[in-house]
Amino acid sequence: MKISIYPGSFDPITYGHIDIIDRASKISDRLIVAVLNNPEKKSLFKVEERCEMIKDAIKTYDNVEVESFDGLLVDYAKSKGANIIIRGLRAVTDFEYELQLAQTNRQIYDKVDTIFLLTNIQYSYLSSSIVKQVAKENGDISKFVTPFVSDKLKKILNK
């Protein structure tokens, strides 16, 4: 059974992430979207809220689930019996950081492989930070996130 982990901050989940989830779900028997719970990293949404938004976005997928994790990603992957990590690459600028992450993970746990999926060109400019900036300034975010996420953003930003 091919168990894959798609880790990230997802603060909040965007259509770019959903595109990666969709494609990763097709090459995995079971896909776990893993939300990093890192109190040291300032996030807009609590980890439970980030999971709730992902849960809504994946409700039509039978083989996708969401969980939060803390500590090392490879320890979490090991605990789930997963040896594939999925990451999206939007542009060359993502590559250096992603390479470092993937190589570090493999040094710590050599049974794990990272599979990079190229973000659909339609979403190659998109990031959670950009979405938050546009939402803060009352811009239209309907092309970036689901209506569920859009409502949550408006509520948290008092818009």
Bridge partners (DSSP) of residue 31 are: 4, 64
Residue with tokens 């079971």: 30
Nearest-approach distance from CB 94 to ligand PNS, in angstroms: 9
Residues 70-129 that bind ligand PNS (CB under 6 A): 72-73, 101, 104-105
The answer to whether 17 is a known catalytic residue is yes
Count of other CB atoms within 10 angstroms of residue 139: 11
Kindly determine how many residues on this chain lie close enough to bind ligand PNS according to the rule CB under 6 A.
9
The answer to whether 30 is a known catalytic residue is no
CA distance 78 to 112: 9
Bridge partners (DSSP) of residue 89 are: 118
Residues 16-75 that bind ligand PNS (CB under 6 A): 36, 72-73
The answer to whether 106 is a known catalytic residue is no
> Which positions lie near ligand PNS, rule CB under 6 A?
7-9, 36, 72-73, 101, 104-105
